[in-house]
Amino acid sequence: MTERSIRTIDSQVMTGRAGRLRLTSKNPYVPRSAIIREITRETDSVSTFVMSFIDELENNSFSYQPGQFMMVSVAHQGEAPISISSSSLQSDFFSLTIRNSGRLTKAMHSLKPGNVIGLRGPYGTAFPLEEMQGRNLLIVGGGIGMAPLRSVVHTCCRQPDHFGKVSVLYGSQNPGELCFQSEMQSWKEAGVDCRLIVDAADNGWQHQVGLVTDLLTDEFRPQKKKDLALVCGPGIMIRFVIQRLEELGYSPENIFTTLERHMKCGFGLCGHCHCREKLVCVDGPVFRRSQLGVLEDL
């Protein structure tokens, strides 16, 4: 890439839709080196990677919010967007929870602590922590969709006095695909109401069987107009969960969800992640229900 093309990219980024990001790097496509500190296996196909930037100054100045994502790269294996799954209150390191589902993610799952990867970001919109303060939160996740919601849960656990009642409803196809099971007891001890459900149970399963929408009973009707719901998971799950939340009385302004699209640049330049009139990497990935059109687009 020539110096002229880099200046052109800078100009486009600063004056276009992506200008909201206020990127300062001369070349926003250049990743920063990060080292893997720890790897936790969540399921047969999902692992959480704890990491930090190699540059100490970079690491100390790094900040993000729940719901944002990083562009992750492994040498000769490509690049992909991955949601941050740790609390933004955590210093010194951050976590990415990754499912083995493609070339890049397969390469990630072959790495070990001490290996180095490339990161760009953070990018995108976030769950509104300030707006969430003092309010009851209903968090509904499906499968790997629990990863960005975990960032919110950890924040609530670390600052329980800042939030109202926090409920987590989490579903998957089977018990073996539920992530973060080893953490859920600590969530409960911090006051979070955790409820699990699977499509198909095994002999040791002690929770409900069915769809996550089955957990959305009248018990979860919003008691106050300011109660918030956060939803993340497969598109079809999000669609039916939102429909049920609206039936329960949640207003479109108080329902937050995420959209997933194929992203390339991460800051609104390439247009790969367009969804109707929106660019998911800039206008999202976190949206209010009121910002979305027909749910069939999810």
Strands annotated E in the chain: 32-41, 46-53, 69-74, 78-83, 94-99, 116-123, 137-142, 166-172, 193-198, 208-209, 228-232, 255-258, 274-275, 278-279, 286-288
The β-bridge relationship of strands 46-53 and 69-74 is unpaired
Answer positive or negative: Cα dihedral of 287, 290, 294, 296: positive
Look up residue 229 and give its two tokens. 């719901």
Look up residue 57 and give its two tokens. 């100054």
What are the DSSP calls for 91-102, one per residue?
A: -S-EEEEEE--S
Binding site residues for [2Fe-2S] cluster, as ranges? Answer: 265, 270, 273, 281
Instruction: In whole angstroms, give the CA distance from residue 38 to residue 95.
Output: 9
Binding site residues, as ranges? Answer: 265, 270, 273, 281
Instruction: In whole angstroms, give the CA distance from residue 201 to residue 207.
Output: 9
Which amino acid is present at 48? T
